[in-house]
Every structure is written in C-alpha cells, then in structure tokens.
Amino acid sequence: MEIRNHTSSTADFILLGLSSNPQLQKPLFAIFLIMYLVTVVGNVLIILAIRSDSRLHTPMYFFLSNLSFMDICFTTVIVPKMLVNLLSETKSISYLGCLVQMYFFMAFGNTDSYLLASMAIDRLVAICNPFRYDTVMNPRRCLHMLLGSCAISHLHAMLRVLLMSRLSFCASHIIKHFFCDT
C-alpha cells in the first residue's frame, strides 16, 4: 500500500511544542535531557541486573527486562526529536517522519500494555496455581507471550498508520503538541 502525502503546499508539519518562549526552551531542554538520560540509564541498569544474576532468570524478570527495553524504545521515539525541536528555529517534522514516529509510539506503547498484562497473568498463575507454575509459565510460553505482544502491537500500529496515511491534511499543518500522536 502506497503512503501518499495529501498536504496541499508543504510536506512538513509544524510542532508547536511546550513553549515558544526562547528563555524557557534551554531550561526545558536541560530538564528533558536529564529526565531522558535517567530513564534510559535506569532501564539499562534493570536489564543488566536481571541478565547478570542467574537467580533472576524467572518469567517475572524476563517480562520485566523486556518491559524495560520497551520503555527505552518508547521514550527514544519521542524525546530526541522533542529535544531537537526545543533548540531549533523551524520545529518541523516531515509527513513521513510523523507517520513513522506515530507508528513506533503506538507499537511500543501497546507492547508495554500487553507486557504488563503478561506480567499480571504470570502473577495470577503463581498465586492461583503455585504447584503448576513451572509447567504453565515455562520459557517457551513466556517467549510466545512476548512475541504475541509485539506482533499484535505492531500489526495494530501498522493498521492505524496506514489508515492515517489516507487522510488529507489540507487545512492546517500545525500540530499543537511536541510529537505526532494525534
């Protein structure tokens, strides 16, 4: 399916962001950069802690490490472009860039939700069927739950973006937000 740009005069959207006040943009940049780095470093440390300790190689920690990875991906979809826009004059994003950002935002966000549901199922089995836990929540089933979460999320995001690509944007190219989500 071909993705077409239905805009009338320009292929870019203007992201208004959080503030157009030049005095606020550098402090906002610093705050969001620090928050982004703390998020990435914290999630990487969680992944490394789980990978390094063999006692943590259980289904719950398998899902937790994958949730941390998805959180890194989820924040990396939005924050770098937002940081660039805070320091640039143009504050624009291309039509294709907007669709790609929207796709990954929805895919990683939905995968986060499905992984949380998988963790809830894991805890449900551990509490309600503790004697059968090892047979029910085996590594193969955990991998299938992870792959199912990713597949459903990416298919759903692809469908939404393909439908979005068929819309026309003739009236306004201004997005009153700091990323393409609506």
**pLDDT tens-digit map of 24-42:** 778 888 988 999 999 999 9
**0.85 surpassed by pTM:** no
Whole-number pLDDT of residue 6 = 46
d(CA 107, CA 162): 13
Contacts of 165 (CB under 8 A, 6+ apart): 1, 3, 4, 99
Q: How far is CA 117 from CA 35, 41, 60, 67, in A?
A: 26, 25, 12, 11
Whole-number pLDDT of residue 9 = 41
Structure-token pair, residue 34 = 């620090």
CA dihedral of 13, 16, 21, 24, whole degrees rounded to 10: -110
Task: Provide the CATH number for the domain formed by 18-175 in this structure.
Answer: 1.20.1070.10
d(CA 63, CA 150): 12
Structure-token pair, residue 74 = 């989820």
Whole-number pLDDT of residue 91 = 72
Nearest by Cα to 107 from 143, 78, 137:
78
Ranges of the chain with pLDDT below 70: 1-20, 169-182
